[in-house]
Amino acid sequence: GAGVSQSPRYKVAKRGQDVALRCDPISGHVSLFWYQQALGQGPEFLTYFQNEAQLDKSGLPSDRFFAERPEGSVSTLKIQRTQQEDSAVYLCASSPPGPQYFGPGTRLLVL
């Protein structure tokens, strides 16, 4: 069956530009997670949804980061006024609950 998909796969942004990253979870998965993975690091938790409710956003690094999942399915992670330190791979994962299944990630490069 279809796994978690993310788009775009690659994004180059100029510093100060806004970006939107999309995640399509596995159909029927209740939980959705976003992680940020900097080069040479393990993933770091950003935020968590249960259906449409954002229950934990403690990992969002600043108020420039915003995530939503309005209908409890597709989620969007938005980064406003991007900075160079935002360059990373952004991973989305969904779970039934249970083990988390990951998308391929979006590699963001901010110049």
Instruction: State the residues that interact with another protein by CB under 8 A.
Output: 3-4, 31, 33, 35, 40-45, 48, 50, 55-56, 59, 91, 93, 95, 97, 99-105
Nearer to another protein, 82 or 88 (CB): 88
> Shortest Cβ distance from residue 102 to another protein (Å)?
4
The C-alpha angle with vertex 98 and arms to 72 and 88, in degrees rounded to 5, equals 70
> Shortest Cβ distance from residue 89 to another protein (Å)?
10
> Shortest Cβ distance from residue 56 to another protein (Å)?
5
Exposure of 91 by Cβ count < 10 A (0-12 exposed, 13-18 middle, 19+ buried)?
buried
